Structure 1
Amino acid sequence: MDRSVCLLLFLAIGITCVTAQSCGYQKCHSLPIKPGMINVHLVPHTHDDVGWLKTVDQYYYGANTTIQRAGVQYILDGVIPQLEANPKRRFIYVEMAFFKRWWDEQDEDMHSRVKKLVNEGRLEFINGGWCMNDEASTHYNAIIDQMTLGLQFLNTTFGDCGRPLVAWHIDPFGHSREQASLFAQMGYDGFFFARLDYQDKANRLKLQNMEEIWRGSPNDLGKVADLFTGDLFAHYGPPEGLCFGILCNGQPVQDDPKLHDYNVDERVKTAENRSMEQAKHYHTDHIMWTMGSDFHYQAANIWFKNMDKLIKYTNAGNKVNLLYSTPSCYVYHKNQAADVKWNNNNTDDFFPYADKAHSFWSGYFTSRPAIKGYVRECNNFLQVCKQLEVIAGPMPFTNGGPSSQTFREAMAVAQHHDAVSGTEKQHVANDYAMRLHAGAVECQEVVSHALASKMKKGSVDPPAAQFCSYLNISICATTEENDRFSVTVYNPLARQVTGHYLRLPVNGQSYTVSAPNGKPVQTQMLKVTAQTAKVRGPRGNATSELVFPVTVEALGFSTYLITKATGRASRSLFMPQVETNVVSMMIPQSPMMREDTEIHNEHLSLIFDSTTGLLKTITNLKTKLILNVQQAFHWYNSSTGNNDDSTQKSGAYIFRPNDTEPLPITTKGSVITKVVTGELVQEVHQVFSDWVTQVIRLYAGQRYAELEWTVGPIPFKDGLGKEIITRFDSDMQTDNKFYTDSNGREILERQLNHRLTWKLNQTEPVAGNYYPVNSRIFIKDKSRQLTVLTDRSQGGSSLKNGSLELMVHRRMFYDDNFGVGEALNESGVFGDGLVARGKHYLMLESPADSSQLHRNLGEQLYMAPAVSFTPNTFSTQDWSNNFNMAYSALKRELPASVHLLTLELSEEDTALLRLEHQYQAADGGTPQTVSLQGLFEPFEVVTSSVEELTLGANIHAEKLERLSWNTNEGTTGNVSQQCWDPSSATVSLKPMQICTLRFHVKRRW
């Protein structure tokens, strides 16, 4: 209906007219495309970091201008009226963490105006996640969660017209193959990024291969994970000389011929030249200009006024056609080129990224190890919190009470490419941690209420749960100060967990532990190490650690009752406590040990060299595999940019060592100071220096060794920046190949000094071979595989045959000059340098046996049991009479290859469920089927209500129609892989497939 007719009807009889929607690809049909000319798609955009130099709040409000003049609210305030002033104008917005905050502050009139612009395709959301997440340090679980948070907001607020069609990662520092796969599974048709290795980009420009079909899962999901991908020509800013905002230096279009500074001819000539220069590197007659940059459009009228003029005068010629557009319309018109066959040979990723010869952005794979560890830990607890909201029901959480929402948003913000990456200023890192802590505290209330509701049998309420956030350094007031306490262990996995060990700080000499069935549990007492006491300082005073194994049912909890034993009578009653034997007490300067030291359990034997005290041999006792391997700590001296090759320094982003061979960290003589043996755990304590220590443990029944490292404060008096690694040197012949995970999912093969799709001229032989390790790295030969799993994201490599290294900590004294403006010189709790403590998990298996084992272990580490405590005033019998001591929310376990990735409340009686096939076909993964009928104990899935959604949970799977692309191997793109069968109420999963379902729950009470 014509708008004037609509207005007359409204004035006459009160009919309200709704503007016809022209969103999606419909909006692209009306663009003024001119065949035979270079059609330049001008994309007005702003890149708004969700924290970097300033905190999230400071960026939104425009505060702290001494650091940066950036205020997101003013961008959105100014863009809306500029779009309304000219119907040809377009604008895209990306970060929902900012947009939702702005949206919530607006009145209904503004809501209506914005919805109109969205419905007409003039304001378009691109990417649509809560943030633009990092791609190296992020786990796929957290990526999916943060994207879902933003996409569901858009879907709820704007419907189909709010759905992003194109992914937009213009600033992350390298790009993972798994990220492309996830975007494809979310239903995107295109993916654009700006940061591409300088050599790779030069090669692609030469070959006209700046745009291609990226194969995100070539061996498992196949075409489902294929995605049209483009590298932006001019980074993510406008062409040189054509920047028009208040943050630009470009000349405005001065079009009054009566004035001396009239420059229309020069401005048009610049536009034509930039267009033709770019077009020769691309297929089709369509190219894209990113008209904006970091926090641009705070004075939106300047940008739009000059772009209007540039379009008008340039289009008066016959060479170039400039038009307002969006990335989705650009993708649409690229797709319409029927005569182009797109390359689809890329199955690699884009790591590590270098922007010049000696600037490899591989330092941030490890930067800020403490916050990387905290993000991983918090995501674990967030999944627990979300699950228990569904299991226990929403009753305690209505009317503004505690919920998981605060934690969800904090975790989503933490995935930003200047958050978990470790590339933010220190005060911003503190702000990220504060937000995570606030969310975790609120979720502790949720978890406490939920567990209590499932424990309660009758009228007596169980004690409120207490949480101990510093168990890794033996701090827990509940266990230290009480002679009787309970421990409730919740298992977020869909399979029973057995042989999981708890280590609780205590002050007694002996304790008895009672299992949920009332039977005594074997325990072992160990002294708190001097290093742990030093790290925790005055925050705790436990003298010992109580160690015992727990068994927890699938998606459920078990409660263990602990009592301090007084006298020999109570110890003889519960015989299970075993003695700990300290085999040797040696200082690093002591004489050499007379013979090698061995610790072992039923699966592994570890032998340590008699002279050095270093790990010497690993033996798999079941398969008889033997590996000669030495493990030690070393440090690279960080470049200060004072050598002949380059002035580039190591910093938060850049890893650039001064030498290719690191320096050893060791004292004279043996590094072993203590060997502890016992029936539950055996330990070797190593001191490499006064700031690097390690405890290597073998727990009974476990197929891996645990290596707990403590590094810091990294010394600084010598003025040398240091980048600390742990290195394993073995007798394997690995052909210069090693393997790393991609965001915790699929495995990629790496080869020293090699790139899969282009010829590398290696200029940094160490940093140029470092890759992100999110969960695991391994090397192998024909019969053996050495796998190291991590508890956080780190950088890793194999720089020579049989060697494997991981960077665990780094401290520098110079900025690397990429914007952060600070040296990566973190302080600790007590004002000294940061002390980082983490764990590596070491496995030796045959290659055939390794894949499923390390995937299962990785799942257990990432979704570790959550532990809560209560002081206990009940007797064992009274506790058992009043409370459930064990519970499972599943009536049957899921198959070993199927992971319960997501269980969360969508609405009060609606749940979102994701089931994931976590094995690759190469791991021996085979199709799996799971029935939802009778699966859950506390509720029934209303199968008639089940909706299958895309991975981002914002599109019904059967409604998804992706663009198809012509490639050298046929067509790709619009391929369905639906998993839900309503006739049988079953989910069918192929290797690496994730099934996303939403359904109503029918409570059983």
Structure 2
Amino acid sequence: TEPFQAWTGFYTSRSTLKGIARRASSLLYAGESFFTQYVQKHPESSICKCGALKQLQSLRWAVSEVQHHDGITGTESPKVKDMYMNNLMYGMFNVKKLMASIIFDMNNAKKNREVYSAVYNKDSGMPDVDQYVIVYNPLAWNITTFVTVSVSDMAMSVYDELGHSVPAQVQSPAESSSTYDLYILVEISGLSYRKYHVKALTGEQSAFIGRSVKYKRKDLTQANQQHQQLLPVVNNCYQVLFDQSTNLMHSITERETNQTVQLTQEFLEYHVNGDVTKGPISDNYLFAPNATAVPISKAVGLEVVFGNLMTEIRQYFYSNITAQDYSYAVYTRMYTVPEGYDGRLLCRSIEQEYSVGPLDFNREAVLRTSTNLNTKQLLYTDSNGYQIQKRPFKTYVNNTVARNYYPMVQTAYIEDDTTRLMLLAERAHGVSSQGNGQVEVMLHRRLWNNLQWDLDYNLTLNDSSVVRPVIWLILGSKAATNILYRTSGLVLEHRPVVMFGASPGDKPRLPRQLQQNSVHSSPVTLPPNLHLQTLSIPGWRYSSNHSEQVHNIHMGKQKQGDADFSRVLLRIRHLYEAGEDPVLSQPVMVNLKSLLNGLGSVKAVEERSLTGTWDVNALKRWKWKTAQYPSKGFFNITETTENCTVTVHPKEIRTFFVYFQSQ
């Protein structure tokens, strides 16, 4: 970063591609573990394993391709962006099709005249068709969350595999009039799936119906701060107040500690220069605002959909009190989980979805959250999605705003001595703290300039799209948020995969095999401080002995052949740093045979380097000069015992090849 060239714009450039890339990576993660379990549990399956692996490989390639330094940053030309998008969508389609085929095969669906699809079909909501929702949890934790499907009727009922009624809520969506949104509360074990029967039905077991209340649009220029009327929205964890004189958020109270933080949100735009003869410019890489951000809304509309399971607050931001169309929107969702369900993560996360765009030329849109926390303009972000770093505000002679922007891969937070406000995102953004108690997230950019180099490569970022990013807000003590944010971030990133099925007839067909697979199968479950980072069948044919593999290549003995389906790649990651939490930062012992018992009987385990290329026993790793190890040199550590019990230390990733007994 130079005085007039702050390379902080690319943190947000091409936000849509950033979101699709993250979703594709999440789907690949789910597809890998789903396919691995299928191969191990159903070795004589009817699906061609080589063809299935090629479907996975198409998404592996697309996800790898977009990691190029111009792809993940959004600094590629439009035609290259289109290539990334096409390859990602093609790979995602293949993996969704593969997962639907696996469901179809495992449940003998052909005999029951059932049809499974990864894509929702509105026709399946017809009265004479039984509609199924199949939900796969790709995480190695038991989760309780909501999935959303579109339905054609307000009177709906949802049942699980055993015919028990499932809590659900149906309501009119914010931006459609032809369908309704059905929120289904799902409770799924690690790496397992459940099947839910959705039926148009009224009665005692029908889904709750959300009740919409629309409030008068308020002129922000005429707001009366002396006579505030506050509208409360409450769940078991928070009370959020909205100021009815402005329709803006007023405060959040964390109910367990009764700690209240004054909090308001507004959209602003940075105006930037596009003429190189008039000063510094913004482009795909650079962020060079002319001045401080400008508020863009003079009126705010408010609608609240009250429900037993979820309350949604819809705020619409208008350029003036008489404008027909809103410029921006925020949809805030607060969840209430019934007794008998583990709703801790759902309750503690305030979900916000934004609608931003299309922007005018040379505008950069931010959402600024202002609080009464005395943060001293100190911001924390995860620069690489792995490690939290302090970001103190620094004053410069030139370009202070842009030079205080930092990358937010997933996490950012501000705090005072007692309370922390944490933001978790499902795509990368630029983030900054431009004032005490403030945090602002750049959501979208649309730029044009006449720099010849940018014109030659078509790098002017004329992005006229509407972006819809999602951010979760978590408010609480430092200790409480430390426990929550690691798991919450992964739950946000790896949401359940939803597939759909239908079969003719009035009664739900519940194949016995499906009940066994989804309800009675052995889940793969890790403690909350460990994450199953990889469970896949790479298909690699190279030797486990790296020296032998290199020798074979040099001698021309490396031949192409069928993929190796016997080798399973497993990675387990410890989520916490040493000293971060008194309990969760402790080393964890895991018995790999017990962990993977649901897939089959483990025959052998080889510990590998992070890439899987090297046998860990052949590595010579550096031992750094620290207080614990005062001398420098190489060292090896292997802790894999004969019964396959391993210890995972804070922030450690351990990688294994696992081989199962033939079934």
Output the TM-score relative to the length of structure 2. Answer: 0.86
Contact 1:406 1:439 in 2 (8 A): yes
1:776 is aligned to 411
Pick one of 582, 586, 590 that aligns with 1:926. 586
1:446 is aligned to 98
How far is the alpha carbon of 1:967 from its aligned partner?
A: 9.5
Contact 2:423 2:474 in 1 (8 A): yes
| Letter paired with 1:490 | Y
Q: Please give the residue correspondences for 1:527-676 in structure 2 after superposition, counting only pairs within 5 Å.
A: 527-529=172-174, 532-533=175-176, 542-565=178-201, 571-574=202-205, 576-588=206-218, 595-641=229-275, 647-659=279-291, 661-668=292-299, 671-676=300-305
Q: Cα deviation per residue 1:173-221 (whole Å; 9 max; x = unaligned)?
A: xxxxxxxxxxxxxxxxxxxxxxxxxxxxxxxxxxxxxxxxxxxxxxxxx
How far is the alpha carbon of 1:751 from its aligned partner?
A: 0.8
2:328 is aligned to 692
Q: Cα deviation per residue 1:746-791 (whole Å; 9 max; x = unaligned)?
A: 211111118xxxxxx5632111011110111001111100001111
> 1:826 & 1:476 partners in 2: Cα distance?
34
2:65 is aligned to 413
> 2:595 & 2:380 partners in 1: Cα distance?
37
| Letter paired with 1:687 | Y
> 2:642 & 2:162 partners in 1: Cα distance?
40
1:221 is aligned to none
> 1:359 & 1:497 partners in 2: Cα distance?
45
RMSD (Å), alpha carbons: 2.6
Contact 1:852 1:923 in 2 (8 A): no
Larger radius of gyration: 1
- Distance of aligned partners of 1:391 and 1:446 in 2 relative to their CA distance in 1, 3 Å threshold: same
1:486 is aligned to 132
SS in 1 for 2:333: strand
SS in 2 for 1:657: coil
Contact 2:252 2:261 in 1 (8 A): yes
1:728 is aligned to 369
Pick one of 360, 364, 388 that aligns with 2:6. 360
How far is the alpha carbon of 1:464 from its aligned partner?
A: 4.0
2:534 is aligned to 902
Q: Cα deviation per residue 1:453-490 (whole Å; 9 max; x = unaligned)?
A: 4444x98367343224xxxxxx8636666763110000
How far is the alpha carbon of 1:584 from its aligned partner?
A: 2.8
Q: Cα deviation per residue 1:376-406 (whole Å; 9 max; x = unaligned)?
A: 1011100111111210007524344553111
How far is the alpha carbon of 1:542 from its aligned partner?
A: 3.3
Contact 2:114 2:504 in 1 (8 A): no
Contact 1:753 1:762 in 2 (8 A): no
Contact 1:478 1:871 in 2 (8 A): no
Q: Please give the residue correspondences for 1:468-479 in structure 2 after superposition, counting only pairs within 5 Å.
A: 468=119, 477=122
How far is the alpha carbon of 1:648 from its aligned partner?
A: 2.4
SS in 2 for 1:364: helix
- 1:821 maps onto 2:457 in alignment: yes
1:1002 is aligned to 661
More strand per residue: 2
> 2:4 & 2:121 partners in 1: Cα distance?
46
SS in 1 for 2:468: strand
1:520 is aligned to 165
2:476 is aligned to 845
Q: Cα deviation per residue 1:8-27 (whole Å; 9 max; x = unaligned)?
A: xxxxxxxxxxxxxxxxxxxx
SS in 1 for 2:257: coil
- 1:793 maps onto 2:434 in alignment: no
How far is the alpha carbon of 1:737 from its aligned partner?
A: 1.2
Pick one of 430, 437, 453 that aligns with 1:802. 437
> 2:211 & 2:625 partners in 1: Cα distance?
68
- Distance of aligned partners of 1:409 and 1:666 in 2 relative to their CA distance in 1, 3 Å threshold: same
Contact 1:478 1:870 in 2 (8 A): no
How far is the alpha carbon of 1:920 from its aligned partner?
A: 1.6
More helix per residue: 1
Contact 1:505 1:542 in 2 (8 A): no
1:683 is aligned to 312
Q: Which runs of 5+ in 2 are unaligned?
A: 319-325, 338-346, 539-563
1:273 is aligned to none
Q: Please give the residue correspondences for 1:152-191 in structure 2 after superposition, counting only pairs within 5 Å.
A: none
Contact 1:479 1:504 in 2 (8 A): no
1:380 is aligned to 26
Q: Cα deviation per residue 1:421-440 (whole Å; 9 max; x = unaligned)?
A: 11001111010010111111
Contact 2:171 2:181 in 1 (8 A): yes
Q: Cα deviation per residue 1:238-292 (whole Å; 9 max; x = unaligned)?
A: xxxxxxxxxxxxxxxxxxxxxxxxxxxxxxxxxxxxxxxxxxxxxxxxxxxxxxx
Pick one of 367, 371, 382 that aligns with 1:741. 382
> 1:876 & 1:816 partners in 2: Cα distance?
66
> 2:626 & 2:188 partners in 1: Cα distance?
50
Pick one of 104, 109, 114 that aligns with 1:463. 114
Contact 1:912 1:996 in 2 (8 A): yes
Q: Please give the residue correspondences for 1:487-502 in structure 2 after superposition, counting only pairs within 5 Å.
A: 487-498=133-144, 500-502=145-147
SS in 2 for 1:450: helix
SS in 1 for 2:490: helix
> 1:650 & 1:558 partners in 2: Cα distance?
48
1:40 is aligned to none
> 1:762 & 1:480 partners in 2: Cα distance?
62
How far is the alpha carbon of 1:602 from its aligned partner?
A: 0.6
| Letter paired with 1:586 | K
> 2:633 & 2:379 partners in 1: Cα distance?
31
- Distance of aligned partners of 1:904 and 1:766 in 2 relative to their CA distance in 1, 3 Å threshold: same
- Distance of aligned partners of 1:824 and 1:691 in 2 relative to their CA distance in 1, 3 Å threshold: farther
How far is the alpha carbon of 1:862 from its aligned partner?
A: 1.4
How far is the alpha carbon of 1:940 from its aligned partner?
A: 2.9
Contact 2:97 2:118 in 1 (8 A): no
How far is the alpha carbon of 1:496 from its aligned partner?
A: 0.9
> How many residues align structurally?
605
- 1:935 maps onto 2:582 in alignment: no
Contact 1:604 1:703 in 2 (8 A): yes
How far is the alpha carbon of 1:562 from its aligned partner?
A: 0.3
How far is the alpha carbon of 1:999 from its aligned partner?
A: 1.8
1:752 is aligned to 393
- Distance of aligned partners of 1:578 and 1:990 in 2 relative to their CA distance in 1, 3 Å threshold: same
SS in 1 for 2:474: strand
1:300 is aligned to none
**Higher RCO, Cα 8 Å, sep 6+:** 2
Contact 1:480 1:542 in 2 (8 A): no
> 1:991 & 1:455 partners in 2: Cα distance?
41
- Distance of aligned partners of 1:967 and 1:503 in 2 relative to their CA distance in 1, 3 Å threshold: closer
2:321 is aligned to none
SS in 1 for 2:593: coil
Pick one of 840, 843, 857 that aligns with 2:488. 857
> 1:816 & 1:497 partners in 2: Cα distance?
50
Output the TM-score relative to the length of structure 1. Answer: 0.57
